[in-house]
């Protein structure tokens, strides 16, 4: 049981910290959050560690609550390690005595307190608005779902997109900039830097790769090994290291079982699921109208941020085409549900929205004599199969239009397509 004086000390320290936090660049997620302010629903902001969730809370506090009308608590604070759900009322009383009546709770990493959902439900019924953050999206949704079915909405915060990266760099990227030689050159140079560094805000600010390594270690140890009581830490690290080193490659759970010496493919599947729950990666499924065939088909592995490849991968050389594919994957996730398509050839991505395929894309670093026929034919196969009029091939820096058999293939440079 925490002493009241310690609780008050934590409250005031943390309030000073959140108000003193650099506002950073406005995140694009603010637009979505603005639409949710008048709803009584709990707003759940999920995302990988260090992707900017607390900074987003800071921006919400500034833009919508005048740096005043809010209570804030961060359960990552080591002084709160003994905090349990029975103390939430004492926390509220301490906030009330120090700050007076407020109508909004901002809570960082709330999933660290077992049973938090009962407190949230009770105070939501009293008329409080909640913004809660967490690194484990599925855990948050599962626990909130027990008490708040249909009464919470999720906002997924990603590391910086290329647009946000340009905002951070102070580079204009409106439609006119793409056609102005000097602006276009700055955007293309910035894309080279984005391709190399990724979009993790703290790393971009300080440039020390140790930040990415420590974040990765925290995810493995705190979010996975400790939370799920895993004993074979070496096997967990070997599996994740292998997947990162083989980014975007096809794999099966059974093949990975043999690679790392796991006792069963179920163990491998669980380990990967834990990494997905930590918002560190996404596993891409093959598109198949048969759910059973889809489940047993090979998968592909994509990182939430490609910046982790360089410090974590065991490969001596990086395949820039795979990094480019990872960037494209993260960009298209907001447009629908992505799959890869494979028949006679392979199409890197098709996008499904409301059970309808709405888009087909290929990604290749360069269209040359070796790759051209394969990339175009794989895309055309998907376009024809799903009765689309056109498709897109995203490249590093090539641009053209191809008309074949009444179908249109747009070849677009990545920097332009991302804008």
User: What mean pLDDT is predicted for residues 338-359?
Assistant: 96
Read off the pLDDT band of 2 (50, 70, 90): confident
Q: Are residues 125 and 264 in the same domain?
A: no
Total count of domains within the chain:
4
Please report the sign of the dihedral spanned by the C-alpha atoms of residue 237, residue 199, residue 152, residue 43: positive
Q: Are residues 68 and 92 in the same domain?
A: yes
pLDDT for 137 beyond 70: no
What is the distance of C-alpha 162 from the center of its chain?
14
Residue whose C-alpha is closest to residue 230's, from 246, 243, 214, 219? 219
User: Residue 83: which CATH number?
Assistant: 3.40.50.300
pLDDT for 405 beyond 90: no
User: Residue 383: which CATH number?
Assistant: 3.40.1350
pLDDT for 316 beyond 80: no
Q: Are residues 325 and 313 in the same domain?
A: no
Q: Coil, strand or helix: which one is 43?
A: strand
User: What mean pLDDT is predicted for residues 216-228?
Assistant: 95
Residue predicted with more confidence, 145 or 383: 383
Structure token pair of residue 386: 């799903």
Contact 215, 209 (CB under 8 A): no
Q: Are residues 292 and 398 in the same domain?
A: no
Cα 268 to Cα 21, 39, 251, 263, 301: the distances in Å are 39, 40, 12, 9, 13
CA-based R_g, the chain, Å = 23
Q: What is the pTM of this model?
A: 0.95
Q: What is the pLDDT of residues 281-295, one digit of tens each?
A: 999 999 999 999 999
Task: Give the least confident one: 13-27, 151-165, 168-182, 377-391.
Answer: 168-182
Residue whose C-alpha is closest to residue 298's, from 336, 256, 263? 256
pLDDT for 139 beyond 80: no
Predicted pLDDT at 147: 75
Q: Are residues 135 and 166 in the same domain?
A: no
User: What mean pLDDT is predicted for residues 207-225?
Assistant: 96
pLDDT for 138 beyond 80: no
Q: Which residue intervals of 209-350 are DSSP H helices? A: 209-218, 227-228, 233-245, 253-260, 265-277, 291-296, 309-312, 320-332
What is the distance of C-alpha 339 from the center of its chain?
17
pLDDT for 339 beyond 90: yes
Secondary structure E strands in 332-396: 337-342, 346-353, 356-363, 390-395
| Domain termination site, one of 206, 234, 264 | 206
| Domain termination site, one of 294, 318, 342 | 318
| Domain termination site, one of 119, 139, 156 | 156
Q: What residue numbers bound the domain in which 234 lies?
A: 209-318
Predicted pLDDT at 146: 76
- What lies within 8 Å, CB to CB, of 85 at 6+ separation is 113, 114, 115, 116, 118, 119
CA dist 307 and 303 (Å) reads 9
């Amino acid at each position: 049981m925490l002493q009241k004086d310690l609780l008050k000390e934590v409250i005031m320290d943390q309030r000073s910290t959140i108000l003193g936090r650099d506002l950073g660049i406005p995140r694009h997620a603010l637009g979505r959050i603005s639409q949710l302010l008048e709803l009584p629903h709990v707003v759940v902001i999920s995302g990988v560690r260090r992707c900017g969730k607390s900074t987003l809370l800071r921006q919400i506090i500034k833009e919508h609550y005048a740096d005043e009308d809010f209570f804030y608590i961060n359960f990552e604070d080591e002084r709160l390690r003994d905090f349990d759900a029975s103390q939430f009322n004492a926390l509220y009383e301490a906030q009330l005595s120090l700050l007076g009546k407020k109508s909004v709770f901002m809570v960082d990493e709330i999933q660290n307190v077992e049973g938090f959902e009962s407190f949230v439900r009770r105070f939501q019924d009293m008329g409080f608005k909640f913004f809660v953050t967490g690194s484990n999206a599925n855990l948050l949704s599962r626990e909130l779902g027990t008490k708040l079915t249909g009464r919470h909405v999720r906002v997924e915060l990603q590391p910086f997109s290329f647009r946000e990266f340009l905002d951070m760099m102070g580079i204009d990227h409106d439609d006119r900039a793409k056609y102005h030689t000097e602006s276009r050159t700055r955007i293309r140079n910035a894309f080279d830097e984005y391709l190399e560094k990724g979009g993790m805000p703290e790393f971009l600010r300080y440039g020390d790769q140790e930040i990415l390594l420590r974040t990765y270690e925290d995810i493995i140890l705190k979010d996975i090994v400790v939370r799920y009581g895993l004993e074979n830490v070496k096997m967990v690290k070997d599996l994740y290291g292998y997947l990162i080193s083989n980014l975007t490659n096809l794999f099966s759970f059974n093949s990975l079982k043999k690679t790392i010496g796991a006792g069963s493919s179920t163990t491998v599947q669980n380990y990967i699921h834990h990494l997905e729950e930590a918002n560190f990666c996404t596993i891409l499924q093959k598109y198949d109208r048969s759910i059973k065939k889809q489940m047993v088909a090979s998968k592909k592995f994509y990182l939430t941020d490609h910046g982790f490849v360089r410090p974590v991968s065991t490969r001596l050389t990086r395949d820039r085409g795979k990094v480019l594919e990872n960037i494209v994957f993260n960009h298209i996730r907001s447009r629908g549900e992505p799959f890869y398509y494979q028949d006679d050839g392979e199409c890197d991505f098709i996008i499904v929205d409301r059970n309808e395929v709405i888009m087909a894309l290929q990604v290749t670093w360069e269209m040359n004599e070796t790759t051209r026929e394969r990339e175009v034919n794989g895309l055309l196969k998907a376009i024809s199969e799903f009765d689309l009029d056109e498709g897109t091939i995203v490249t590093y820096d090539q641009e053209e239009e191809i008309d074949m058999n009444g179908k249109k293939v747009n070849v677009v440079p990545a920097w332009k397509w991302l804008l």
